């Protein structure tokens, strides 16, 4: 059952388990570290919210399809699985959901969740070359500051070249004229 639930979570970015709560896949944005020298990639993170939820028909249809059974049998199996989860969560060690994380109840009665480390978290941060530091300012949010004295401009925009320098339309017009000439020559 765990692999079906994990697959649904990955595909739909949320999984509702009645009586426990909602698992979500949220994106942690990219961030800068060590004074603008390291760039950490965005990472999807599994989080848990303890709230009253109900599984929907789409989930039961998915579960029946994955288990190769009818919807009533899938609902009964899922209900049995959730009851088993509820009893395991209240135990001292909690419950380990494969590929998702560890779920347990604290002494104050709140449910705590610790996500399994994502393979994306293992990606090393990218370091900028020497002499270039990323600075975030209000006037230039995407600017790179160079430490070289030879440059007259302190900031170099991190944007692609403007469209006014691009002459793609000239080539398109030439090809259009050649095409019209070939058609006129063929029918003449």
pLDDT tens-digit series, residues 162-186: 555 678 888 999 999 999 999 999 9
Average pLDDT of span 146-151: 51
- Both 111 and 141 in one domain: the answer is no
Q: SS3 for 114?
A: strand
Say if CB 89 and CB 20 are below 8 A apart: yes
In the block, tokens 């469209």 appear at: 163
The residue out of 122, 137, 159 marking a domain boundary is 122
What is the count of structural domains for the chain? Answer: 2
- Both 134 and 114 in one domain: the answer is no
Say if CB 126 and CB 39 are below 8 A apart: yes
Q: CA-to-CA distance for 108 and 114, rounded, in angstroms?
A: 17
- Both 13 and 90 in one domain: the answer is yes
**Whole-prediction pTM:** 0.62
Q: Which domain holds residue 172?
A: 129-187
Q: CA-to-CA distance for 95 and 160, rounded, in angstroms?
A: 50
DSSP-assigned letter for residue 162: P
The residue out of 65, 95, 122 marking a domain boundary is 122
In the block, tokens 């944005």 appear at: 29
The residue out of 122, 143, 172 marking a domain boundary is 122
- Both 70 and 30 in one domain: the answer is yes
- Both 75 and 138 in one domain: the answer is no
- Both 150 and 105 in one domain: the answer is no
Average pLDDT of span 38-67: 86
- Both 34 and 50 in one domain: the answer is yes
DSSP-assigned letter for residue 134: E
152 pLDDT above the threshold of 90? no
Cα–chain center distance at 121: 12
- Both 112 and 38 in one domain: the answer is yes
- Both 12 and 96 in one domain: the answer is yes
- Both 117 and 148 in one domain: the answer is no
Q: CA-to-CA distance for 57 and 69, rounded, in angstroms?
A: 15
- Both 147 and 81 in one domain: the answer is no
- Both 50 and 116 in one domain: the answer is yes
Mean pLDDT for all residues in the chain? 79
- Summarised one tens digit per residue, pLDDT across range 103-132 is 888 878 778 888 877 666 666 777 777 766
Max Cα distance, the chain (Å): 91
């Amino acid at each position: 059952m765990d692999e079906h639930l994990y697959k649904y979570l990955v595909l739909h970015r949320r999984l509702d388990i009645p009586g426990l709560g909602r698992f979500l896949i949220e994106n942690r944005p990219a961030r800068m570290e060590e004074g603008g020298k390291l760039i950490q990639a965005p990472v999807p993170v599994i989080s848990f919210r303890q709230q009253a939820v109900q599984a929907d028909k789409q989930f039961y249809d998915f579960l029946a399809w994955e288990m190769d059974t009818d919807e009533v049998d899938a609902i009964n199996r899922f209900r049995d699985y959730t009851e088993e989860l509820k009893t395991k969560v209240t135990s001292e060690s909690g419950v380990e959901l494969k590929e998702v994380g560890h779920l347990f109840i604290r002494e104050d009665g709140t449910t705590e969740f610790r996500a399994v480390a994502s393979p994306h978290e293992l990606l090393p941060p990218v370091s900028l070359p020497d002499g270039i530091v990323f600075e975030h300012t209000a006037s230039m949010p995407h600017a790179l500051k160079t430490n070289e004295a030879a440059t007259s401009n302190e900031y170099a925009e991190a944007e692609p070249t403007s469209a006014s320098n691009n002459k793609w339309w000239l080539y398109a017009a030439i090809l259009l004229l050649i095409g019209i000439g070939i058609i006129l020559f063929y029918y003449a």
